[in-house]
Chains A and B, each alone.
Chain A
Amino acid sequence: MKELTLETLLAVFEEIYGFWLFWGMVAAALVVTVLFVWVLIRDHKLEARTLVQAELFAPVGAVAAIVFVFFMTSSGLRDMGGPIDVMMLVGIGAAGAVGLTILAYVARALVRPPRG
């Protein structure tokens, strides 16, 4: 795989999820990110209270992401064969945790803006 270009990578992801689902997910991730940054700008800070509440969702996101990958690939914890597997698992968990935290933060901040 010496020519792993961005174009190849995008083509592969389009094949995994289908064109619309993949770009839909990219768009959704972008929208959440943009909203997150917008909320930061609006509030002029990272609202500590909202963040702490959002972080409660982090473990849920981590576990959900890992369970989802295990389910989709007919595998489980017993298949961890080396350090790279554990790193991959931690990476998937971290992605789920961060993703759900940001989503929860944005949702909370949009529904109930902090009082100035």
Chain B
Amino acid sequence: MTKSPLAASRRAFLGLAAGGAALTLGSAPARAARVKTSARIVILGAGAAGTAMANRLVASLEGAQITLIDARAEHLYQPGFTLIAAGLKPAAYSRSRTADWLPREATLIAEAAAEIDPDARQVTTDRGRKVPYDFLIVATGLTLDWDAVQGFTPDLIGTNGIGAHYAGPAAAEATYRAMDAFAEKGGVALFGRPATEMKCAGAPLKIAFLTEDHATRKGTRGRVEIHYLAPQKALFSVPIVAEKVRMLFDERGIAAHYGHTLKSIDPGARIATYTTPEGEVQMGYDYINVIPPMRAPAAVRNSPLPWADKWTDQGWVEVDQKTLRHIRYPDIFAVGDVAGVPKGKTAASVKWQVPVAQAHLIATLQGREATEVYEGYTSCPLITRVGRAMLVEFDYNNNLTPSFPGIISPLEELWISWLMKEVALKATYNAMLRGKA
């Protein structure tokens, strides 16, 4: 019998298999040595930014006393709210337990921060507990100011043609029910965004697109009239994206109105009142999606930490936009929604901000300067219908910063971008929480 070219000895085969296994196991990058310190690091907030920071610090520091302060027992995967509000996922999709993501080496104080004293380097909780720190990471997230929309209360969500998917997983589910009932019946739908900075500025656009898509799939698009009302002069802060969205709105028959800020709603009469440069304007609706103004939490707003000359009605923390370090208090960093930087109140921003702030903190512990810089990268898988999205990524300077240039176009409605949102985004987010992405 002659040996074929494919033939090989069993010993060679076993050697090959063992080599392959060694290659797989040995390919993880070696961990850098942990930095020894006895610093007390307090993290305000155990959401996306606070949790990612805690896990990264535990992995990179030895002997540090890391404490998180957050009263909320539930961790919310907020990028999932849009999918829940589109009827694609149940409320449980966005829910998990805060404690499940935190490293054992960190301490969680399940109380809310009530007062921050950067001069005494101390945080006081709502139960009066005083927590001193050497370094403070402000990662509180933001507050939805529902009271700013007169006539609206969160218990109305899902009734009277009112949706508000920013309010949480249950509210997103109720929003879907209201939107679905509207799409069935037809009428006028109003969408929009607040005048303040907001988290995920793409979400109001997505929900308008998804409602249009829902009615189209139901075969009721002819009975549905959709308006999008923005306080700004454009549909998105990045001009090239704003133009693309404007074109898509035209194509999909969604009427865009600029300079309109939602002031109040009358749930009984189903009338929304907007302030415009020309005065107040009233619009009747059958369905409205309410997204309120957003501000820093009261404990931050009432502390010395916010900008004095910027966003004065919103209270974002005064940090250097490249390092996330507080401009007046070098032992304080702010990451996530509460950071006073242009754009980027998204989980994608968190993913990029946290390693930069972490690098600067560790460099300070080592008595050196860090060179890491955050350029404002953020990303928005802008869903334009179920099954398609645009993978929009950009920075502080409104430059598009595609991860896959020449392969995945940021301004094209693609299935592959939808796949990323559906399959990879939550997984990447979870890996980020664990400090691994």
Which positions in A face B, CB cutoff 8 Å? 1-2, 5-8, 10-16, 34, 37-38, 40-41, 44-46, 69, 72-76, 78-82, 84-85, 88-89, 116
Q: Which 7 A-B pairs have the closest CB atoms?
A: A79-B387, A15-B427, A75-B387, A11-B436, A11-B431, A85-B415, A15-B430
Q: How far is the CB of A49 from chain B (nearest CB, A)?
A: 15
Task: Write the nearest CB–CB distance from B110 to chain A, whole angstroms.
Answer: 25
Q: Which of B388, B426, B430 contacts A79 (CB 8 A)?
A: B388
Whole-angstrom distance between the alpha carbons of A41 and B386 in the complex? 48
Question: Interface size (B, Cβ < 8 Å)?
Answer: 41
Beta-carbon contact of A72 and B408 below 8 Å: no
Decide: A13 and B387 in contact? CB cutoff 8 A: no
What residues of B have a CB within 8 angstroms of the CB of A81 in the complex?
388, 412-415
Rounded to whole Å, the gap between the CB of B89 and the closest CB of chain A is 9
Cβ of A63 to closest chain B Cβ, rounded Å: 17
Q: Which residues 27-66 of B have a CB within 8 angstroms of A?
A: 27-29
Query: In the complex, are the beta carbons of B424 and A84 less than 8 A apart?
Result: no
Residues on B with C-beta less than 8 A from A15 are: 426-428, 430-431
**Of all chain A residues, which has the CB nearest B31?**
A7
Q: Which residue of B lies closest to A76 (CB)?
A: B387
User: How far is B301's CA from A98's CA once the two chains are assembled, in angstroms?
Assistant: 59
CA distance A46 to B385 in the complex (A): 47
Interface window among B5-13, B113-121, B132-140, B272-280: B5-13
Among A37, A75, A116, the one with the most B-chain Cβ atoms within 10 Å of its Cβ is A75
Query: Across the interface, which residues of A come within 8 angstroms of B385, CB to CB?
Result: 79
Contact B29 A7 (CB under 8 A): yes
Kindly name the residue among B16, B88, B408, B419 whose own CB sees the greatest number of chain A CB atoms within 10 A.
Answer: B419
If A14-B427, A16-B427, A41-B9 are given as contacts, then 6 extra A-B residue pairs at C-beta distance below 8 Å, sorted by A number, are A38-B13, A44-B7, A73-B419, A79-B385, A84-B407, A85-B416
Contact with A along B399-437 (1 / 0, CB 8 A): 000010001110011111011001110111011001011
Q: Is the CB of B386 within 8 A of A82?
A: no
- Tell me the complex Cα distance, A79–B4, Å: 47
Q: Which residue of chain B has the shortest Cβ distance to A86 in the bound complex? A: B415
Q: How far is the CA of A73 from the CA of B8 in the complex (A)?
A: 43
Which of A11, A45, A69 has the most chain B CB atoms inside 10 A of its CB? A11
Given the known interface contacts A12-B437, A45-B4, A74-B88, the answer about A88 and B415 at a Cβ–Cβ threshold of 8 Å is yes
How many Å from the CB of B217 to the closest CB on chain A? 11
Contact B416 A88 (CB under 8 A): yes
| CB–CB A46/B6 < 8 A | yes
B27 touches A84 (CB 8 A): no
